[in-house]
Structure 1
Amino acid sequence: MMQFHLPRFFISAILYLATCFGAVWLINPQSLVNFVGPSAALVSGLLLIWGITPLIAVLLVTPILAFGLNYYLHFDANIAVMSIALLAIILQGFWTKQLVFRFVHYKKWLISRKHLFFFLLRIGPIASLVSASAVLVISMLDNQVMQGTFFYTFINTWSASMLVAVFFIPLLLLAKNAEQLKLTKRLFVSFTSVLGCLAILLLLKTSQYEQQSYREALFKQSKVDIERLILAEVTGVVNQINSLSAFFKASDYVSLSEFNLFSESIFNQNSSVRALEWAPIVALNQREKFEQKSSVMLQQDFQIRERLANGKVALAQPRSQYAPLYYIYPQQGNQAALGLDVYSNPLHVLSMQKVIDSEQVIASAPISLVQDEQARPGMLFSNAIFSLSEDNKAAKLTGQNKLSIIKADKLLGFVVAVVQFDDFFHQLARKREQEVSFFIQDVSSHQTFTLFGQTLPTANRYTEIINMEVFSRHWQINIAEKQPWFSQAKSWQAWAVLIAGTFGALLFQMLVLMMAAYSSELGQQVDIKTRALILAKESSDKKSLAKSNFLQTLNQELRLPLLAMKACVEQLKKKGINNKQVTGISHAGSNVALLLDTMMDLSDIESGKIIAKADCFDFYGFLQRTESVFKASNAYEGKSIFFLIDDSVPHYINSDELYIQKLLHAIVDSAHKLLKSDDLRLSIKLHKHKLADASLFFTITSQNAAMVNVSEQVFAQQNHDELSANSTTMAMAVKYSHLLGGDTTLAALSSGAGVLSASIRVIISSIEQQEAQQGLTFDIID
């Protein structure tokens, strides 16, 4: 048994893996949820035809699928997500089987358009709700978000599952139940379905490409804007520092009021600078004098201090020179920094020697600054200020080495700016609130420092990393979409293509299968009609056989009394008794015998025992003989009939001469009774059909000047059955005309005169047949 199911197991496993990876690859953007809908539809179809084997294959192969998604596509296919996906696939498969079990088991899903409609409705729109609902939970787990709407994800999964189901399951059932349609129809349905599937796939793929291109363009634009704005803000800060540095270089002495006035103009530019500071160079021998002068000018106790290794601030130890913070704007809130020697800054934060050696502004490592009772990250931007001697100015004009010139210059001090980008980053984040999020770190050393934000989720989002050099510091900016793709607002074009494409594909497949169902429906109706006709024919044959048996029995039963009566009449005649009564008995017996012969004739015609011949004979000679018989017959005493032969009637025809003669006798007898006239005219005409095939028409009308009108009630109700019931001879005429391939009708002219006509099918004799018949006639005469 396992050997029998082993091929099904491998086929199911391969189709399952191919569908999962194919759906993830084809549906943009690539996501862990993309495979659930199509794979659920696939397993539903396999479950319908192969039973439990596909489910075993899915259970065993799912770990391989999870490993492949993790290893090759870097999806977080964890146990929770894969368990929910697997349960959704199995549940949809079993639900689909329960919904359409009767359609498949009794093979009636394609027998009519009504059954097909409800079959597609159950395997597609209804069953696909399972995987679409499960994907909502998977999306929340995969994207690690609970807020936002996932309605587009629901509709997208529902659409994918439904389309795979309505295209794949019918083709699978047609391949298994080949007896439902012929090979040509199955090939037509399969080829048309594949073309339709490819067309809708191309349409949806194009729409997805346009959506993702537009989405990517918006993200890249946001990334460029963020990078540009951050660089602009940093450049603005440095420009302010350079302005202040130029101010100190241009003046021999800058007073506190001048410094405050210049700094105020810089602060009005709404930058990220929290404070501007000036730290002049003070030699050891001038320390005491500088402290006394500064205390008087600043109107507070001013002493040069330094930051110890433990972070505390104490009086500066003796050394060759100091760079204490002398001017601070704004001074309010920053008094604690007055007198702090910038040379005492930790080297990992800001090396003042590096500032001296550099010609540009140097940024420090991020530090925590207390502002508004909150600790926020900040940075120190510092620039060394030199004064050029007269010799150095001349050397610059002659183009000497720049490094030698700088070393010869006198260091005046340092311009320091305390910068906090926190407000700027928050403001920038609010501008991009609906688009992107960003996370900024200083990664200049092995120990990173967060400047703004927090680690960003990257599942189903566009992400980008920007590496930026900020004046000796290295910043890393991580940018990601604010919302994952599945919860982002979609344009009306995206919704229109998804909904229109889904229902258009469903309608297309339904119409293709409807044609096949209509063909099956017609075939079924033909079978029903055929069976009904066969049963009717069998019933008619039984009735005809019973009638024939009855007539044969009746004929045999009546023949014996007639023979006895005839023998008795002959005995009476031999004895010389031949009076009127004996003659009447003889005539009555002859009429009864003729009636029995007629009944047997009619019975044999109905049962098909008599078949008309197609012999060549002289039709004109036949008509002459028949007319002579009519005129010489005793039954026609006081009556007359005139034969009128049209020129189109050939001399020789192929037909049954005997039954034509019986037909003419029957219609002439009937015409006397129905037309109520003793003077009749028989017109004979021919109508050619094709080649030698033709029809002969015998039309009988009254020759009286005053035409005899047929009763309207009689004419309106005339048909073959009524004529047969009213006249035995008319019934004979009808049967003889049918036997000869024609018909008999009673009609009326516009003048009201009655017309009785009969038609038969004949073949015009060829020249060879006429010559052969003439030769036989001459031989008989000789």
Structure 2
Amino acid sequence: MIQLYLTRFLISAILFLMVTFGATWMINPQSLVNFVGPAAALFSGLLLIWGITPLIAILVISPISAFILGYYFQLDANLAVMVIALLAILLQGFWTKQLVFRFIHYKKWLTSRKHLFFFLLRIGPIASLVSASSVLVIAMLDNQVIQGTFFYTFVNTWSASMLVAVFFIPLLLLARNAEQLKLTKRLFVGLTSVLGSMAILLLFKTSQYEQQSYREALFKQSKMEIERLLIAEVDGVAEQVNSLSAFFKASDYVSLAEFNVFSESVFKQGTSVRALEWAPIIPFAQRKSFEQQSSKILRQDFQIKERRANGAIALAEARNQYAPLYYIYPRHGNQAALGLDVYSNPKHVLSMQKVANSKGVTASAPITLVQDEQAKPAMLFSHATFLTRGSNKFINSSGQKKISLIKKDKLLGFVMAVVQFEHFFQRLAEKKEQEVNFFIQDVSNNEPFTLFGQAPPTANRYSETIIIEVYSRLWQISIAEKQPWFSQAKSWQAWAVLVGGTLGAVLFQMLVLMMAAYSSELGQQVNIKTRALILSKESSEQKSSAKSQFLQTLNKELRLPLLAIKAHVEQLKKKGINNKEITGISHAGSNVALLLDTMMDLSDIESGKIIAKADCFDFYGFLQRTESVLKASNAYEGKSIFFLIDESVPHYLNSDELYIQKLLNALLESAHHLLKTDALRLSIKLHTHKLVDASLFFTLSAQSSTLMNDTSATIELQNNDHVSTNSTSMAMANKYSQLLKGDTSFTTLSSGAGVLSASIRVSVSSIEEQEQQQGLTFDILS
């Protein structure tokens, strides 16, 4: 007994692990909700046949499955999720057992199609609601979201649980209750169910592959679009900075008005630039004059300032040269930065020496600007403007342009742009067709700086991290789907495959089991009919035995007085007394004796004691003897009969000569009564069925000279039909005909004449049988 329970424990544990990992691996995308429905259906089936043992196995094996799910599938199988999943599995199992207890206990789930329908309805659609409802909570915990719809998760889990229950539980019960169906039928149902489940699994896998491929393509398209737009925006800012630098490089002197006009044209393009700045190179010797001239041009007190190490702004100390911010557009809101020496910028933010050496656009580290009373990240895009010396141009005699050798480039100043990508990122994130979230960080330093957004959740979502270079800075962009797969909007094709495939698979399995249930129904009906026939046969045999016993007793009781009467009549005849009364008594006794013989024949035929023979005999000789006897008897009684034999009737037949004679006697006696005539005509024909099997027909009708033409006689015949057929002679004719595997009938023609016919089954004697019969006849004659 312990070994039996241990075997069941191991089988339950192995099946639970197989279903758990198989469902998680096969259902895409992989998620903790995938195994709940199939595992619940599996536990329901095991609980129905093995009781408490599968429960212990699942409780013991659940921690192991949680560890493997977390380690191998990289799923967050935490305690809360696994407890909810385990409770849902157990609850569905016990609810299923409660729903179908009567079907299983009384073994009637496959006894009829009605029982089967309600059984499948309870183990599938109804019981699966438990796991389908519980996965909504698991999905929220697993996906780390509460908002959104999880209807697809509900339907998907409900479908998986229902399909496993409908396909697995009936096969499990058939394997256990082998007495319900024969081995061949169980093999047919099992093989058909396995093939059907494989077909529906292939259909779902194909649909999942198409859905996930389409989903991945959309994600990659969104990722590439975000990367393209972001790089385009950054390059656009750098292009504007380069244009302003070229403007200062191409002119000997750029006035404030010209700078404002150029900057205004830049801002009209909808750029992310918040401010454009120009910082010329001022030697220490020209500081005073530059400050005085700038004060007049800018119409405010202008002094060259610097940023100290503590972040405070103060007058710049004496050094070889300065790069103060001279032009700023727009000045409103940025006046505090006028005169600030950019050389005093923190080195970790933007090194101006690095900008000068790069001779291209250089981006600074992100800085925090207070704008509209909110701190928002910004960047400085800077470009050093050089004046090329020794670039005098002339044309030689051949017409080619020549440029003198460059001796040294003179640094004129720095063009700077204060850039804030916040609005651009926001517009990009709010695009309706954008189904992804992104998180941008500057990772050039050890500590990343967040430029936009926050780290998106990646559970059950496509996610990817890319790094792009932004003019000496490195940006890390984390992109993930906005919603997990289970709460994303699905196409009508996905819903059609899920709903249609589920219903189709359930109907397929139902039809397969319905055929088995119908077979059980037929078997039950056959058993009921068989038992009824056996009881009827036993009752009939008892009645027949009682009737036979009664007739035998009656025969014995009546024989004794008949023998006494016969002996008394014989004594009277010996004494010479042979008057009309004595003759009547003798004739009555003979009739009573004949009646008793007839009743005994009827009883023996009904009880099956009499079996017709199939001996070869001379049928024509038999007819001649019968005709002679009948004519002699009829002549005494004032009757006549004419035999008409068809040429198709052979001379020798195989049948029972004695009962054919009894049949003819009974037919003739009935014919005189039914046809109301003393002149009969007997037609004999043969109809061949096969090579030797044939039917012999006897047809009795009135001779043409004695046909009754008056209507009253015809009506009387028709009215007396039922009475005559119940007479003793007609009953004997029916019994003899049935004994010889034939039938009798009485019909009335349109002319009003009656016809009595009978048929028997015979076989045509072979040549060997005829020769043998002829030899016996010659021996007897000799």
TM-score normalised by length of structure 2: 0.95
CA gap 1:312/1:672 in 2 versus in 1, 3 angstroms: same
Give the secondary-structure state (helix, strand or coil) at the position aligned to 1:431.
coil
> Aligned residue pairs: how many?
773
Displacement of 1:580: 3.1
Whole-Å separation in 2 of the counterparts to 1:302 and 1:342 = 15
CA gap 1:95/1:601 in 2 versus in 1, 3 angstroms: same
Partner of 2:644: 644
CA gap 1:729/1:329 in 2 versus in 1, 3 angstroms: same
Whole-Å separation in 2 of the counterparts to 1:40 and 1:383 = 67
Give the secondary-structure state (helix, strand or coil) at the position aligned to 1:705.
helix
Partner of 1:588: 588
Partner of 1:378: 378
The answer to whether the 8 A contact 1:715-1:746 is kept is: no
- Which letter maps to 1:23? A
Whole-Å separation in 2 of the counterparts to 1:736 and 1:580 = 35
Deviations 1:17-49 (A, max 9, x none): 222222222222222211111221222222222
Give the secondary-structure state (helix, strand or coil) at the position aligned to 1:269.
coil
Displacement of 1:398: 7.6
Give the secondary-structure state (helix, strand or coil) at the position aligned to 2:33.
helix
CA gap 1:731/1:45 in 2 versus in 1, 3 angstroms: same
Displacement of 1:497: 2.0
Give the secondary-structure state (helix, strand or coil) at the position aligned to 1:507.
helix
Counterparts of residues 136-175 of structure 1 (less than 5 Å): 136-175=136-175
Give the secondary-structure state (helix, strand or coil) at the position aligned to 1:32.
coil
Partner of 1:606: 606
The answer to whether the 8 A contact 2:386-2:410 is kept is: yes
Partner of 1:498: 498
Counterparts of residues 359-438 of structure 1 (less than 5 Å): 359-390=359-390, 408-432=408-432, 435-438=435-438
The answer to whether the 8 A contact 2:113-2:517 is kept is: yes
The answer to whether the 8 A contact 1:442-1:474 is kept is: yes
Partner of 2:308: 308
The answer to whether the 8 A contact 1:708-1:754 is kept is: no
The answer to whether the 8 A contact 1:392-1:409 is kept is: no
Deviations 1:428-473 (A, max 9, x none): 1111575111110000011010000011011111112121100010
- Which letter maps to 1:38? P
Q: Which deviates more, 124-133 or 192-201?
A: 192-201
Whole-Å separation in 2 of the counterparts to 1:497 and 1:92 = 26
Displacement of 1:489: 1.3
Deviations 1:514-548 (A, max 9, x none): 22222222222222222211111111111100100
**Residue 26 (structure 1) aligned with residue 26 (structure 2):** yes
Partner of 1:264: 264
**Residue 92 (structure 1) aligned with residue 92 (structure 2):** yes
Partner of 1:731: 731
Displacement of 1:647: 0.8
- Which letter maps to 1:447? E
CA gap 1:188/1:711 in 2 versus in 1, 3 angstroms: farther
Displacement of 1:608: 0.8
Deviations 1:146-170 (A, max 9, x none): 1111111111111121122222222
Whole-Å separation in 1 of the counterparts to 2:402 and 2:285 = 35
CA gap 1:502/1:264 in 2 versus in 1, 3 angstroms: same
Partner of 1:75: 75
Partner of 2:548: 548
Partner of 1:520: 520
**Residue 228 (structure 1) aligned with residue 228 (structure 2):** yes
The answer to whether the 8 A contact 2:444-2:473 is kept is: yes
Whole-Å separation in 1 of the counterparts to 2:175 and 2:404 = 91
CA gap 1:466/1:717 in 2 versus in 1, 3 angstroms: farther
Whole-Å separation in 2 of the counterparts to 1:132 and 1:354 = 62
Displacement of 1:177: 2.0
Give the secondary-structure state (helix, strand or coil) at the position aligned to 1:390.
coil
Whole-Å separation in 2 of the counterparts to 1:708 and 1:174 = 74
Displacement of 1:309: 1.7
**Residue 62 (structure 1) aligned with residue 57 (structure 2):** no
Displacement of 1:392: 9.9
Whole-Å separation in 2 of the counterparts to 1:329 and 1:605 = 130
Partner of 1:762: 762
Whole-Å separation in 2 of the counterparts to 1:549 and 1:376 = 120
- Which letter maps to 1:604? D
CA gap 1:561/1:717 in 2 versus in 1, 3 angstroms: closer
CA gap 1:606/1:391 in 2 versus in 1, 3 angstroms: closer
Partner of 2:398: none
The answer to whether the 8 A contact 1:630-1:636 is kept is: no
Counterparts of residues 685-704 of structure 1 (less than 5 Å): 685-704=685-704
Give the secondary-structure state (helix, strand or coil) at the position aligned to 2:59.
helix
Task: Tell me how large the CA RMSD over aligned residues is.
Answer: 2.1
- Which letter maps to 1:52? I
Give the secondary-structure state (helix, strand or coil) at the position aligned to 2:418.
strand
Displacement of 1:366: 0.5
Displacement of 1:574: 3.9
The answer to whether the 8 A contact 2:392-2:404 is kept is: no
Deviations 1:655-713 (A, max 9, x none): 11111111111110111111110000111111111121111111100004352377558
Whole-Å separation in 1 of the counterparts to 2:620 and 2:469 = 123
Partner of 1:214: 214
User: Where do 4+ consecutive residues of structure 1 move more than 4 Å?
Assistant: 391-394, 396-400, 709-719
Deviations 1:81-136 (A, max 9, x none): 11111111111111122222222222222222222222221111111111111111
- Which letter maps to 1:103? F
Q: Which deviates more, 13-22 or 465-474?
A: 13-22
Partner of 1:115: 115
Whole-Å separation in 2 of the counterparts to 1:531 and 1:654 = 38
- Which letter maps to 1:766? S
Give the secondary-structure state (helix, strand or coil) at the position aligned to 2:328.
strand
Deviations 1:223-254 (A, max 9, x none): 11111111111111111111111111112222
CA gap 1:510/1:713 in 2 versus in 1, 3 angstroms: farther
The answer to whether the 8 A contact 2:390-2:404 is kept is: no
- Which letter maps to 2:250? A
Partner of 1:180: 180
CA gap 1:606/1:44 in 2 versus in 1, 3 angstroms: same
Displacement of 1:317: 2.4
The answer to whether the 8 A contact 2:392-2:403 is kept is: no
The answer to whether the 8 A contact 1:433-1:482 is kept is: no
- Which letter maps to 1:676? K
Give the secondary-structure state (helix, strand or coil) at the position aligned to 1:465.
strand
Whole-Å separation in 2 of the counterparts to 1:391 and 1:604 = 144
Displacement of 1:204: 2.1
The answer to whether the 8 A contact 2:617-2:653 is kept is: yes
Give the secondary-structure state (helix, strand or coil) at the position aligned to 2:35.
helix
**Percent same amino acid at aligned positions?**
77
Partner of 1:357: 357
The answer to whether the 8 A contact 2:92-2:130 is kept is: yes
**Residue 680 (structure 1) aligned with residue 680 (structure 2):** yes
The answer to whether the 8 A contact 1:666-1:733 is kept is: yes
CA gap 1:398/1:251 in 2 versus in 1, 3 angstroms: closer
Displacement of 1:626: 0.8
Displacement of 1:426: 0.7
Deviations 1:172-225 (A, max 9, x none): 222222222222222222222222222222222222222222222221111111
Gaps spanning 5+ residues in structure 2: where?
395-400
Gaps spanning 5+ residues in structure 1: where?
none
Displacement of 1:4: 0.4
Partner of 2:397: none
Whole-Å separation in 1 of the counterparts to 2:49 and 2:716 = 67
Whole-Å separation in 2 of the counterparts to 1:609 and 1:372 = 121
The answer to whether the 8 A contact 1:185-1:516 is kept is: yes
CA gap 1:714/1:339 in 2 versus in 1, 3 angstroms: farther
CA gap 1:299/1:443 in 2 versus in 1, 3 angstroms: same
Whole-Å separation in 2 of the counterparts to 1:192 and 1:392 = 93
- Which letter maps to 2:54? P
CA gap 1:233/1:713 in 2 versus in 1, 3 angstroms: farther
Whole-Å separation in 2 of the counterparts to 1:116 and 1:767 = 63
The answer to whether the 8 A contact 1:616-1:769 is kept is: yes
Whole-Å separation in 2 of the counterparts to 1:108 and 1:636 = 75
TM-score normalised by length of structure 1: 0.95
Give the secondary-structure state (helix, strand or coil) at the position aligned to 1:253.
coil
Q: Which deviates more, 460-469 or 314-323?
A: 314-323
- Which letter maps to 1:770? Q
Counterparts of residues 28-47 of structure 1 (less than 5 Å): 28-47=28-47
Q: Which deviates more, 125-134 or 571-580?
A: 571-580
Partner of 1:662: 662
